Amino acid sequence: MKLAFDLASSNRTILGVDSINTLGSVVKAKGYGKVVVLMDSGIEKSGIGERLLTILKESEIEAHSISNLPREPGVPDVDRVMEQVKRFSPECVIAVGGGSVLDIGKLCAVLASSELTVLDLLDGVSLPPHATFTILVPTTAGTGSEATKNAIIAIPSRKTKGAVVHELLLPNLVILDPVLTVSMPPVITATTGMDALCHAMECYLSQKANVLSDLLAVEAIRLIAGAIRKAYEDGTDMTARSEMLLASYYAGMCIALSGTNAVHAMSYPLGTTFHIPHGQSNAMLLPLVMKQNLTAIPEKTRIIAECFGYRSSDGTVRPAEYLDNELNSLLTDLEITRSLGQFGVKLDDLDALVGSAYGNRRLMDNNPMEWTKGQIEAIYRELLEEM
């Protein structure tokens, strides 16, 4: 563990039941009278979008909504949304929804007054010096996008995903209201929650792990271990919803501090090529990846196992074995499928998947141990054999 870290985070974060009610007063206090609210169709249908627009209207703020954002966005999607945003010349961009919507919101805030495109940024062009005031309101507890300086976007023409990473992508305000996560169906609660668990566990075992990322990661793991089943079984449990939202935020901060590794490297090509939801692919991969990675750092393995209830007095079961059982039981209890075949993946696809995952050196070089292509292939192959 490194006794050094460099953390850039949002200017302000508000957590609490019905904290969304502060939105209008905060925007008005900043002197902004014209905003754009970004959401996807699910948020619009849930009524959450209308609630936000009403809160803004009551504060005499001119708000325009764009509600056709995709859940797994690619470069053309961001370009399309960006064109719509620019028509309104907003003083503030508010993104409400899951991680994809939040990522688009961060990019739109950066590009709203620039001629640059998202592909320019993905190709390494310097970001413009100014970003529009940005407010992020997550409605899922998983991606942690509200806490990161990252935006992950698919590049269909290259059959891959790219990342824009810069402090200008950090939001000015984050509102964490557990009430807004109640509309998540159980399956989304499960897969987004597992995404947050992946973030926390990967960052804890990261090559770049440090004193602060370790502190946040362990607390995120502990919160998720105690709350995810409750949130899945009873979506109105405000304590469980609050703990999952906080855990997701902590895990997002971990990404900014130390970063993910093998799970995400293997997950990205599944999302890009087969459009498997990110949380779903991460969840399938987590037990198998951790079965290998946990051998690298025994002391951290024991601490993670303790977050799931392990005690050294339990007998002869070792922490890694205990944790393997717990992760697999968690997938069973959350009814998360483990079969790649159900998503159209075939044996013929293995070479391309392995090549893409292994070639993602940004993530694989951050793994706690070096992996061969054969190890990556073995995990994909095992998931293909699941029925």
Q: Specify the DSSP element, H or E, that contains 163.
A: strand 160-165
| Mean of pLDDT values over 309-326 | 88
Q: Do residues 172 and 200 share a domain?
A: no
Q: Do residues 19 and 146 share a domain?
A: yes
| Mean of pLDDT values over 329-357 | 96
Phi, psi of 154 (to 5 degrees): -75, 145
> Rounded to two decimals, what is the model's pTM?
0.95
Quick one: pLDDT at residue 105? 96
Mean of the per-residue pLDDT values of the chain: 94
Q: What is the 3-state secondary structure (H, E, C) of 320-381?
A: HHHHHHHHHHHHHHCCCCCCHHHHCCCHHHHHHHHHHHHHCHHHHCCCCCCCCHHHHHHHHH
Last residue of a domain, which of 133, 159, 181?
Answer: 181
The residues near 99 (Cβ < 8 Å, ≥ 6 apart) are: 138, 140, 142, 143, 144, 145, 152, 195, 278
Q: Do residues 138 and 287 share a domain?
A: no
Q: Do residues 222 and 344 share a domain?
A: yes
Quick one: pLDDT at residue 387? 61
Measured distance CA(64)–CA(46) in Å, rounded: 18
| Mean of pLDDT values over 319-335 | 96
Q: Do residues 47 and 146 share a domain?
A: yes
Between helices 186-204 and 298-307, what is the axis angle to 10°?
Answer: 150
Tell the burial category of 384 from Cβ atoms under 10 Å away from its Cβ (0-12, 13-18, 19+).
middle
Which tens digit of pLDDT belongs to each residue from 36-75? 999 999 999 999 999 999 999 999 999 999 998 887 889 9
Q: Do residues 50 and 177 share a domain?
A: yes
Read off the CATH number of the domain in which 366 is found.
1.20.1090.10
Q: Do residues 125 and 226 share a domain?
A: no
| Mean of pLDDT values over 128-155 | 93
Quick one: pLDDT at residue 147? 95
Sort strands 133-138 and 34-38 into parallel, antiparallel or unpaired.
unpaired
Q: Is there a domain that residue 6 lies in?
A: no
| Mean of pLDDT values over 181-193 | 96
In 3-state terms, what secondary structure has residue 280? Answer: helix
Percent of the chain with pLDDT over 90: 87
Quick one: pLDDT at residue 314? 65
Read off the CATH number of the domain in which 119 is found.
3.40.50.1970
Q: With bands split at pLDDT 50, 70 and 90, how would you rate the model's confidence at 1? A: low
In 3-state terms, what secondary structure has residue 303? Answer: helix
Q: Is there a domain that residue 249 lies in?
A: yes
Q: Do residues 175 and 192 share a domain?
A: no
Which tens digit of pLDDT belongs to each residue from 351-367? 999 999 999 999 999 99
Q: Is the dihedral of CA 95, 185, 245, 216 positive or negative?
A: negative
Q: Is there a domain that residue 2 lies in?
A: no
Measured distance CA(19)–CA(13) in Å, rounded: 10
Quick one: pLDDT at residue 70? 85
Q: Please check the confidence at residue 92 and state whether its pLDDT lies above 70.
A: yes
Range of the domain at 177: 12-181
For the chain, what is the domain count? 2
Q: Do residues 89 and 160 share a domain?
A: yes
Structural tokens at position 141: 């507890």
Q: Is there a domain that residue 364 lies in?
A: yes
Quick one: pLDDT at residue 72? 80
Q: Is there a domain that residue 266 lies in?
A: yes
Q: Is there a domain that residue 142 lies in?
A: yes
Q: Which residues of 252-265 are buried (b: 16+ CB within 10 A; e: fewer)?
A: bbbbbbbbbbbbbb
Last residue of a domain, which of 157, 181, 205?
Answer: 181
